[in-house]
Amino acid sequence: MGHGMASRTDTKTRILDAAEKLFAERGFSETSLRLITSKAEVNLASVNYHFGSKKELIRAVLARYLDVFMPSAAAEIQRLFKNPELANLNEIFSSLIKPLLELNQVRHGGTTIFLQLLGRGYIESQGHLRWFITTHYGKYLEAFVKAVSASAPHIPPAEMFWRLHFTLGTIVFTMASADALNEIAEADYGEHNDTEAIIRKVIPYMAAGVSVPILAKE
Amino acid sequence: MGHGMASRTDTKTRILDAAEKLFAERGFSETSLRLITSKAEVNLASVNYHFGSKKELIRAVLARYLDVFMPSAAAEIQRLFKNPELANLNEIFSSLIKPLLELNQVRHGGTTIFLQLLGRGYIESQGHLRWFITTHYGKYLEAFVKAVSASAPHIPPAEMFWRLHFTLGTIVFTMASADALNEIAEADYGEHNDTEAIIRKVIPYMAAGVSVPILAKE
DNA sequence: GTTTAATTTAAACGGGTGTTTTAAATTAAA
DNA sequence: TTTAATTTAAAACACCCGTTTAAATTAAAC
């Protein structure tokens, strides 16, 4: 099973680069392998040769980001825990900004692409992706949940479960429609927000929602 | 152009009923007309005969809910405005509960289906649906935005625009994955939440996020 | 009851999909 | 230089899609 080097960029990489861009823009099922391979300037059959199937290509595209993001995010959380004073929610959420923006160095537009892929994946793949992420990156997620729970101790675990998924929905839906929202915002309010600006807008929103006290039932 | 009555349920209605269920469960592009017509026990061609195209069927499915929900929601908002004391955000969001739950009387599971359709539509149909909703139901939306803005006057309009879309993402993503989330919540915490319970959980979260003060830049 | 219009049916059309196959070209190893 | 393994290339495969057509059926109007 030796691996030869291709003349230009690696065929596998060319496919991944073209695929992630198209997947993020149009969704998985709306993106055909023929479109991917023509943008990547490789042969149609090479997708199945290198990845086996479209489904596995989707996983490979996501894994390339998750493998960078998850350890980096976990390290940031760890760093917070080491800190003597208990971090507040805004700080915990903000600690993800650096790992997210680092993805822009991995690839141009990486942060947006990653978050859009995450959103598409959660919505399109009826639970498959959720399973894939929790089984492959569960240890990283646990640390994050633990940190959030510790800084909002008045929220019981079951309630926190729901609120963290509200949070996931907030960020994921926002990024999936970020381009469209920016167009409207630009037309109506004359302001354009890049990915970092949107992230910085959404963090206070999520932090406030996660930590809001539970009302006594009427 | 007279209209005859079919023997069983109206063919048009049978198509709409089958379509909305499948659309909500699997998304628009993942649901073929052949699947819809087989579930509805009608002929494949009847979709194009009655609706013209799949795209128009999608719009018809959504309109059937929006035509009920929007006026009802607007009436509730109106009622709040009539009230002397300015309603707070929780009350404004909560005023949508009744219109939402009324959809369950229109059709079984109507509330969930409607919210899921809304989410699918916003994400899948690259802007088409957003345009359809704002142009057809814009006057209703304006009243809602006005009410929310009035009860959070410290949030400038551009910021409120983003926060309201965060809110849309929160509710829409949550409902789209409500079944999956409930499965996990049941296994991990032994509690099951119906649609109303989830809505009541998410409202304080959204209200807190929308009204949280804007931090001064560091 | 006959004519006219509305609806339903079955079949086909043209095109796009993921995947597989076959053979040629390229690269690595012997 | 010969042999083997890998990678590319083009074509075909089998299937599903939304849509259209034209005939059969049903309902309404006269």
CATH number of the structural domain spanning residue B72 = 1.10.357.10
Residue A127 in domain:
yes
Spatial distance between the Cα atoms of A165 and A172, rounded to a whole number of angstroms: 10
Q: Which residue has the higher pLDDT, A82 or B37?
A: B37
Any domain includes A88: yes
Question: Which residues fall inside 7 Å of strand D, measured at CB?
Answer: A 1-4, 6, 11, 42-46, 49-50; B 2, 4-5, 7, 31-35, 44-45, 47-48, 53-55
Q: Which residues constitute the domain of residue B69? A: 63-211
Q: Is residue B28 part of a domain?
A: no
pLDDT of residue A120: 86
Mean pLDDT of chain B: 89
Query: What residues of chain B lie within 8 A of the CB of A148, using their CB?
Result: none
pLDDT for B7 beyond 50: no
Per the domain annotation, does B57 fall within a domain? no
Q: Which residue of B has its CA nearest to A161?
A: B185
At which residue do the structure tokens 């160095």 appear?
A105
Nearest to B123 by CA among A29, A9, A52: A29
Handedness of CA B92, A123, B186, B166 (dihedral sign): negative
Measured from the Cβ of residue B115, the count of other Cβ atoms closer than 10 Å reads 25
| pLDDT tens, residue by residue, A177-215 | 888 889 889 999 999 899 999 999 999 999 999 999 997
Which bases along strand D come within 7 Å of a protein CB atom? 5-12, 16-22, 26-29
Chain B residues with CB under 8 Å of A212 CB are 204-205, 207-208
| A23-26, long-range: CB < 8 A, 24+ apart | A23/A58, A23/A61, A23/A117, A23/A120, A24/A112, A24/A113, A24/A116, A24/A117, A24/A120, A25/A116, A26/B126
Longest dimension (CA), chain B: 70
Mean local confidence (pLDDT), A42-56: 93
pLDDT of residue B81: 81
| pLDDT on residue A119 | 84
pLDDT at A216: 61
- Let me know if residue A41 belongs to a domain: no
Nucleotide D19: closest residue by CA–C1'? B48
Q: What are phi and psi of B96, to 5 degrees?
A: -85, -10
Task: With CA atoms as reference, report the closest residue to A13 among A59, A56, A54, A64.
Answer: A64
Please check whether residue B138 lies inside any domain of the structure: yes
Residue B19 in any domain: the answer is no
Distance CA B183, CA A166 (A): 16
What pLDDT shows up at residue A2? Answer: 37
Nucleotide nearest to A56 (CA to C1'): C18
Higher pLDDT, B158 or B87: B158
- Per DSSP, A84 falls in state S
> pLDDT > 70: what percent of chain B?
93
Query: What pLDDT digit, counting tens, does each position of A19-44 carry?
Result: 999 999 999 999 999 999 999 999 99
Average pLDDT over residues A8-24: 90
Domain count, chain A: 1
The spacing between the Cα labelled CA in B24 and the C1' in D26, in angstroms, equals 34
For residue B152, being part of any structural domain is answered with: yes
Q: Residues B126, A38, A50, A107: what is their CA dihedral angle, to the nearest 10 degrees? A: -60
